[in-house]
Structure 1
Amino acid sequence: MALEISPVKKGEKVRFKNPGKRFYDAIGGEEGMRKLMYNFYDKIYESDIAHFFPQDEEEFQKVKEKNSKFFIQICGGPKIYEDEAKGMNLNEYMIRIHDDFSINEKARIEWLGTMREALDEVKDVDEEIKKEFWDYLDQFSKLTVNSFSDGSEYYASYTQAQEEKSAN
Structure 2
Amino acid sequence: MALELTPVEKAKEVHFKNPPAAFFSAIGGEEGMKELMYDFYDKIYESDIANFFPQCEKEFDEIKFKNSKFFIQICGGPKIYEKESGGMDLNEYMIRLHDDFSITEKSRIEWLGTMRDALADKAQHVDIALIKEFWDYLENFSKLTVNSFSDGSTYYAAYTQAKEER
Q: Identity of counterpart residues, as a percentage? A: 70
**Aligned-partner residue type, residue 151 of structure 1:** G
C-alpha root-mean-square deviation of aligned residues, in Å?
1.0
Partner residue, 2:145: 144
Q: Does 1:31 align with 2:31?
A: yes
Partner residue, 1:80: 80
State the distance in 2 between where 1:116 and 1:167 align.
Answer: 25
Partner residue, 2:13: 13
State the distance in 2 between where 1:165 and 1:2 align.
Answer: 27
May I ask how many residue pairs the two structures share in their alignment?
165
State the distance in 2 between where 1:165 and 1:112 align.
Answer: 24
Assess if the C-alpha contact under 8 Å between 1:19 and 1:75 holds in 2: yes
- TM-superposed deviation, 1:4: 1.1
**Aligned-partner residue type, residue 124 of structure 1:** H
- TM-superposed deviation, 1:66: 0.3
State the distance in 2 between where 1:161 and 1:84 align.
Answer: 22
- TM-superposed deviation, 1:19: 0.3
SS state of the match for residue 76, structure 1?
A: coil
TM-score, with length taken from structure 1: 0.96
Partner residue, 1:164: 162
State the distance in 1 between where 2:96 and 2:161 align.
Answer: 16
State the distance in 1 between where 2:46 and 2:164 align.
Answer: 33
Partner residue, 1:67: 67
Structure 1: unaligned runs, 5 residues or longer:
none
- TM-superposed deviation, 1:155: 2.3
**Aligned-partner residue type, residue 72 of structure 1:** I
Partner residue, 1:113: 113
Q: Which runs of 4+ in 1 moved over 2 A?
A: 165-168
TM-score, with length taken from structure 2: 0.97
State the distance in 2 between where 1:151 and 1:72 align.
Answer: 35
